[in-house]
Amino acid sequence: MTANRPVRPAVRWVSKSLFWRVFLVMLLSVAAVQALNVALVVFLTPPTPRIFSVPQVANALRSGQDATGEVLVTREASNPAPADPRGTRISRLIAMQLDLPPARVHVQFGGPPPLVFGPLPPRGGFGDRPPPDARNQILFGHFTVAVEQRDGSWRVARAAHTGFESWRWRAFQWLLAALLAVAPFAWLLARRLTKPIAAFGAAAERLGRDPRAAPLPLGGPAEIAEAAAAFNRMQARLNRYVEDRTMMIAAIAHDLRTPLMRLGLRLERAPEPLRSASEADIRDMQAMIQAALAFFRDGTQAVERRRLDLRSLVESVTDDLADHGEPVVLHDGDPLVIEGDAAALKSLVANLVGNALKYAGDAEVTLARIDGHALIEVRDHGPGIPPEDVHRLFEPFFRGERSRNRDTGGIGLGLSSVRGVARAHGGDATIANHPQAGAVARVTLPV
């Protein structure tokens, strides 16, 4: 019965909330760290530090060995314990035990100074007062006591291995093992939390390139799902806005053809000079309307993608132009298979090569694969592009040729169509002046 019990709404909401997920992850992380610290204290108790008395160290130095094995005594040719101001008092106590001048006893500490209990002798000794009981003088930790011998050598006493080194190494191993055990879970949690955000960013990038991109799936934490829903609503509104205005302009361009046709019929009765000039203007206007309709139609039609050989597609365009005597060159290369709309891509290549032929008189086409993208490069050897016009060439109705002659300059929609097709395929189009001569247009498409 309990297995089929429905999950309470509050529990379901907490499990889907990004805030509560992050909060619980942080809380559990702190709790895990504290539990690890407690485990270290309970299961890895540090060893008790060894305490040495001054008589014990002095006796070991006098006899050359320590019966307990806690003090190691060696003989060395040079002094291994340079004067340490922290060991002055201890050296005096040990010197008193050995009946030696304090200058022949050197004490050095590897860590904090030892604890010393009881009164210490002044520089002149205790005088007539009896010296304190040396058994009350204790020290611990890492120390080195060196006593100069008559032959100039040094007898050295050191604390034996205290066990702290092995304890520190075990504690480090414990921490490392805990870190390795927690790391996969931390990675999975981080990936689970950031994956929806990464998908959100990728969807925004796709929308910037193609307004008709697929909507963002509604999933993940509640906050991300709400943001994705708002993003999809924004995308739908943008598409409606663009489509409404595109259809309005296309309808205006379409309706203009009827009055132009009537105007052409009336001009048949006009005198010859007026009729010829007016018919030329009407033909230009009809060409402009036809180009505008084609541009709007290409921008609103859905892209029908399929696997195709891009090199064969480009070769069909260049071969057709070469058969008509145009100076077009396609450099050899390997086949390049992509997924795209064959008709749209063929129009893209024809626009780029046609512009090169129209403005420069030649076209040189290169295909390559670079960084996971297919690159179409069309170069000419003409006069190039004025620097102030380079960044405007892809604007609709902008013409790089300023004569306003439709036979030489078109109406300024060719390159806009090229960029629209490239971005609809997830790529982009650029144009610039070549360092040597002429201009070069580049189109990148995902492979």
- Mean pLDDT taken over the chain: 77
pLDDT band at 162 (very low <50, low <70, confident <90, very high): low
Q: Has residue 225 got a pLDDT over 50?
A: yes
- Model confidence at 421: pLDDT above 80: yes
434 is a domain residue:
yes
Confidence band for 203, pLDDT divided at 50, 70 and 90: confident
* Overall domain count for the chain: 2
> Domain end: 127, 162, 197, which one?
162
Among candidate residues 7, 18, 436, the one with its CA nearest the CA of residue 225: 18
Residue 428 forms part of a structural domain: yes
Q: What is the DSSP letter of 304?
A: -
Q: What's 361's domain CATH number?
A: 3.30.565.10
Tell me if 371 is assigned to some domain. yes
Give residue 110's domain range.
51-162
* Residue 265: per-residue pLDDT: 74
Other CB atoms within a 10 A radius of the CB of residue 119 amount to: 12
- Position 326, amino acid: E
Q: Is position 152 within any domain?
A: yes
CB atoms under 10 Å from CB of 411, counted, come to 19
> CA separation (Å) from 246 to 95, 242, 318, 386, 410?
103, 6, 32, 31, 21
* Residue 340 is assigned to a structural domain of this protein: yes
DSSP characters for 305-328?
-EEEEHHHHHHHHHHHHHHTT--E
Contact 90, 116 (CB under 8 A): yes
DSSP code for 387: G
Asked if residue 22 is part of any domain, the answer here is: no
Contact residues for 311 (Cβ-Cβ < 8 A; gap 6+): 333, 334, 335, 336, 367
Count other C-beta atoms under 10 Å from residue 231's C-beta: 17
What number is the average pLDDT over the span 373-386? 90
* Residue range 418-428: mean pLDDT, rounded: 84
| Weakest mean pLDDT among 97-106, 214-223, 291-300 | 291-300
In this predicted structure, which of 64-73, 114-123, 278-287 has the lowest mean pLDDT? Answer: 114-123
- C-beta of residue 328 within 8 angstroms of C-beta of residue 353: yes
Q: Which tens digits make up the pLDDT trace of 248-300?
A: 777 777 777 777 777 777 777 777 777 777 777 777 677 667 766 666 666 55
391: which 2 tokens? 């960044």
222-255 and 257-267 helices, crossing angle to 10°: 10
208 domain-assigned:
no
- pTM given for the model: 0.48
Which of 71-80, 82-91, 201-210, 347-356 tops mean pLDDT?
Answer: 347-356
Give me the amino acid identity at 248.
M
Structural domain includes residue 438: yes
Domain edge (last residue) among 162, 189, 205: 162
Does residue 143 register a pLDDT over 70? Answer: yes
Q: Identify the domain boundary among 141, 162, 183.
A: 162
**How far apart, in whole angstroms, are the C-alpha atoms of residue 109 and residue 91?**
12
Buried b (16+ CB within 10 A) or exposed e, 237-247: eeeeeeeeeee
The length of the chain is 447
Q: How far is 429 from 415, CA to CA, in rounded Å?
A: 9
